[in-house]
């Protein structure tokens, strides 16, 4: 998807500007933050931010800074998730994970610093002239990423090991663990653009649907994907005896479900007309990707 | 110090309100966040926030919420600092550290969630009606706690192991690792109270001086304090061969230096008159405490 990679590059440039490694003895920290964020990710969340912001003619710089902040939060969550005490992963996007490349202490601190930096970026005047917008961005991201959102979802994922989750419980887990950050990515565009309640509502629904579709596609890749293509270890869920959408529905019905969610997501974009074409393309891309 | 313990209790009540443990399966996360923040800490930073806010007649509720947010950041940093990959401490304030009481994964996530919650609290309307104030609080805390402040200081502390630091280098390390959070504690009061640049400047200088005095007092306690009184392992710095103010200056000169800094800090408060009495008392307390 061409617009996805163009946006990924633009966000990468902003991240590169925001994370300057100097010659202070602690530069190892910034090096680890850069290693974690400046790789070849798809940058789906940043794309959602800028594509949503574009619906409301938000200045490009504002969208890119908010996108960079949310990408920092996503990347920090991966770094901490990969730690030995958590998922204990050595490989991410085909490269050594942060604690393998550096060390565990550095990975913990780099994650902490990325999370902190995200809020610094959102709260800075350069992101938007209106302080109400900046405070709203911070509040929405903190809620999405915290104990009632992403981190809560990670905790739930850990305590659910060995529990028999049903589909509503798996849905809740995924909504917290990965869905909320996808929703705030779209909401950030709406906040920056001072969207109406109705517009924001539609974007939220779009985001929830593609978030779930994205997760099902991820589960399918874990079952069917090749390690070298996906860029991380596959077959992990089955190995861990983890209940996923695919283990419940089977491959075929899971694929149908993802496609149905993608189409449902697109319907929520009707109100935005042609301007929402990039978001429609993304909804298709998400369920058809191979990595 | 009576006003210190009264304030600690008031901040504890706000923290208790902000961290509600429900019956969702992931309640373990909130339990760990509560365990980490609701103990018997001195709560020096929250005291600095509310005492600074009181100089400008800030509403009590605003001061207490900002104080709770900064305490969350302090507590998260202790939880991550105590992890096996970092300082590997089993005891904190006389109790098992978070990863001992719960487990490592929960401690990592509880730290992450506390850091995130701090920004959620600061950005919420309930903290201050003016969004500019809320955005400024977030920005100042993120700068103090991030790669150029506290987390950068922790990284520096790790890479400095085995290096021969001189006094200016130790001063820089401590200013980053512990000083910046003490400064933002005083600044938060100034931001909430829309203080003049001159008033803010004086509070910053006061904070830098007591921050350094606090650290020297800490180093002295590590050398001279009894474990059961200090509530954590003592003699650690010497054991680790760590360069501290005390190892450079010796006990007597270090104590003189701390007293000098405390007196110098108090001079910066002249502009505030009698209202600054609680901050003066704290400056004395810091260098005379036994735990």
Q: State the Cα–Cα distance between residues A185 and A198, nearest whole angstrom.
A: 17
Chain B interface, best mutation among A36, A69, A73, A155, by max B CB count within 10 A: A155
**What DSSP element (H or E) covers A26?**
none
Q: What is the pLDDT of residue A165?
A: 86
Enter the DSSP assignment of B225: -
Q: What is the pLDDT of residue A29?
A: 98
Q: Which residues of A touch B145 (CB under 8 A)?
A: 116
Which pair of structure tokens corresponds to residue B105?
Answer: 């994964």
Angle at the Cα of A140 (from A137 to A143), degrees rounded to 5? 145
Place of tokens 């365990």: B35
Q: What is the pLDDT of residue A233?
A: 66
Q: State the Cα–Cα distance between residues B48 and B213, nearest whole angstrom.
A: 15
CA A259 to chain centre: 20
Low-confidence stretches of chain B (pLDDT < 50) are: none
Q: What is the pLDDT of residue B233?
A: 66
Q: What is the pLDDT of residue B64?
A: 98
The pLDDT tens digits for A36-52 are: 999 888 999 999 999 99
Q: Which residues of A touch B116 (CB under 8 A)?
A: 115, 142, 145-147, 151
Q: State the Cα–Cα distance between residues A265 and A210, nearest whole angstrom.
A: 6
The residue among B188, B159, B156 whose CA lies nearest residue B171 is B156
B83 at the A interface (CB within 8 A)?
Answer: yes
Give the count of domains, chain A.
1
Q: State the Cα–Cα distance between residues A144 and A150, nearest whole angstrom.
A: 6
Q: Which residues of B touch A146 (CB under 8 A)?
A: 113, 116-117, 120
Low-confidence stretches of chain A (pLDDT < 50) are: none
Nearest CA in chain A to B176: A26
Place of tokens 């993802």: A258
Q: What is the pLDDT of residue B228?
A: 61
Q: State the Cα–Cα distance between residues B83 and B38, nearest whole angstrom.
A: 19
List the CATH number of the domain containing B116. Answer: 1.10.600.10
Q: Which domain holds residue B65?
A: 2-288
The residue among A18, A7, A13, A11 whose CA lies nearest residue A120 is A18
Q: State the Cα–Cα distance between residues B62 and A179, nearest whole angstrom.
A: 32
pTM score: 0.95
Q: State the Cα–Cα distance between residues A273 and B175, nearest whole angstrom.
A: 53
The pLDDT tens digits for B56-113 are: 999 999 999 999 999 999 999 999 999 999 999 999 888 999 999 999 999 999 999 9
Which pair of structure tokens corresponds to residue A142?
Answer: 């903190």
Q: State the Cα–Cα distance between residues B291 and B284, nearest whole angstrom.
A: 14
């Amino acid at each position: 998807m061409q617009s996805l990679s163009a946006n990924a590059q633009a966000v990468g440039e902003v991240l590169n500007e925001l994370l300057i490694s100097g010659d202070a003895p602690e530069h190892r920290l910034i090096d680890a933050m850069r290693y974690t964020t400046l790789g070849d990710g798809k940058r789906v969340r940043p794309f959602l931010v800028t594509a949503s912001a574009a619906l409301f003619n938000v200045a490009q710089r504002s969208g890119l800074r908010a996108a960079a902040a949310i990408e920092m939060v996503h990347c920090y969550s991966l770094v901490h998730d990969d730690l030995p005490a958590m998922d204990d992963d050595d490989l991410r996007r085909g490269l050594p994970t942060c604690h393998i490349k550096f060390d565990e202490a550095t990975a913990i601190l780099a994650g902490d610093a990325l999370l902190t930096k995200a809020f610094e970026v959102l709260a800075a005047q350069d992101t938007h002239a209106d302080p109400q917008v900046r405070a709203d961005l911070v509040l929405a991201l903190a809620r999405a990423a915290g104990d009632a959102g992403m981190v809560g979802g990670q905790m739930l994922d850990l305590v659910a090991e060995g529990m028999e989750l049903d589909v509503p419980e798996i849905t809740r887990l995924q909504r917290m663990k990965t869905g909320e950050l996808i929703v705030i990515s779209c909401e950030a565009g709406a906040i920056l653009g001072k969207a109406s309640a109705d517009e924001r509502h539609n974007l939220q629904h779009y985001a929830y649907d593609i978030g779930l579709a994205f997760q099902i596609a991820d589960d399918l890749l874990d079952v069917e994907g090749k390690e070298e293509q996906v860029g991380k270890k596959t077959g992990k869920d089955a190995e861990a005896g983890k209940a996923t959408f695919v283990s419940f529905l089977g491959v075929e019905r899971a694929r149908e479900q993802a496609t149905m969610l993608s189409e449902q997501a697109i319907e929520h974009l009707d109100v935005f007309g042609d301007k929402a074409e990039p978001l429609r393309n993304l909804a298709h891309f998400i369920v058809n990707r191979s990595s």
